[in-house]
Amino acid sequence: MELRARAATLAVLALLAAGCADLPGSVGPSPAPSHPPYDPVPADYQAVEDLLADRATAALQGDEAAFLATVDPRDRKLLDQQRTIFTNLQELPLKSFAYQVKQSDRAPDEVRNDGVLFSPQVVEVAQLEQAHRASVANATDMTFVRHDGGWVVGRDRAAPREKYSRPWFGGPVTAAVGRSVVVVTEQDGPTSADELLERVSEARTEIKKKLETVWRAEEREVPLLVDATYNGRPPGDTFDGDDGAAAVTYWVPAAGRRPRTSTSALAGAVIKDNPVATNRLATDERTLRHEMSHVYGPALVPTWVNEGLAEYLSGCESNICGEDERRDQLLTHERAIPNDDEWGDDGAIDYAISHAAVSWLIDDNGGLERFLAFCNDFYLHLPSGAENLHEGTGKALKQSYGITEKQLVDGTWSWFEDLPED
Contact footprint for Zn ion (CB under 5 A): 1-2, 307, 310
Complex with Zn ion: residue 146 or 272, whichever CB lies closer: 272
What minimum distance in Å lies between the beta carbon of 157 and Zn ion? 30
Burial of 49 (0-12, 13-18, 19+ CB in 10 A): middle
Question: Quick one: 1 or 254, whose CB is closer to Zn ion?
Answer: 1
Count the Cβ atoms, other than its own, within 10 Å of residue 125: 16
Distance in Å, CB of 294 to Zn ion, minimum: 6
CB of 132 to Zn ion, least distance (A): 23
218 within 8 A of 263, measured Cβ to Cβ = yes
Nearest CA to 164 out of 250, 99, 101 is that of: 250
Question: Minimal distance in Å, beta carbon 317 to Zn ion?
Answer: 17
- Measured CA to CA in angstroms, residue 42 lies from 39, 99, 101, 370, 382 at distances of 10, 17, 11, 62, 54
Please say which residue, 1 or 89, places its beta carbon nearer to Zn ion.
1
Query: In this complex, which beta carbon is closest to Zn ion, that of residue 250 or of residue 415?
Result: 250
> From the CB of 346, what's the least distance to Zn ion, in Å?
15
* 1 versus 101: smaller Cβ distance to Zn ion: 1
Instruction: Please give, one letter per residue, the 3-state secondary structure of the chain.
Output: CCECCCHHHHHHHHHHHHCCCCCCCCCCCCCCCCCCCCCCCHHHHHHHHHHHHHHHHHHHHCCHHHHHCCECCCCHHHHHHHHHHHHHHHHCCEEEEEEEEECCCCCCCCCCCCCCEECCEEEEEEEECCCCCCCEEEEEEEEEEEECCEEEEEEEEECCCCCECCCCCCCCEEEEEECCEEEEEECCCCCCHHHHHHHHHHHHHHHHHHCCCCCCCCCCCCCEEEEECCCCECCCCCCCCCCCECEEEEEEECCCCCCCCCHHHEEEEEEEECCCCCCCCCCCHHHHHHHHHHHHCCCCCCHHHHHHHHHHHCCCCCCCCCCHHHHHHHHHCCCCCCCCCCCCCCCHHHHHHHHHHHHHHHHHCCHHHHHHHHHHHHHHHCCCCCCCHHHHHHHHHHHHHCCCHHHHHHHHHHHHHCCCCC
- Residue 242 CB, nearest approach to Zn ion (Å): 17
- Of 1 and 117, which has the nearer Cβ to Zn ion? 1
Taking the complex as a whole, the smallest distance from the CB of residue 201 to Zn ion amounts, in Å, to 21
Q: Which is nearer to Zn ion, 44 or 307 (CB)?
A: 307
Query: Toward Zn ion, which CB reaches closer, 2 or 227?
Result: 2
Residue nearest to Zn ion (CB): 1
Min dist CB 52 to Zn ion, Å, is: 37
Q: How far is the CB of 301 from Zn ion (least distance, A)?
A: 12
- Minimum distance between the CB of residue 138 and Zn ion, rounded to whole angstroms? 24
Nearer to Zn ion, 75 or 307 (CB): 307
Nearest CB to Zn ion, comparing residues 2 and 91: 2
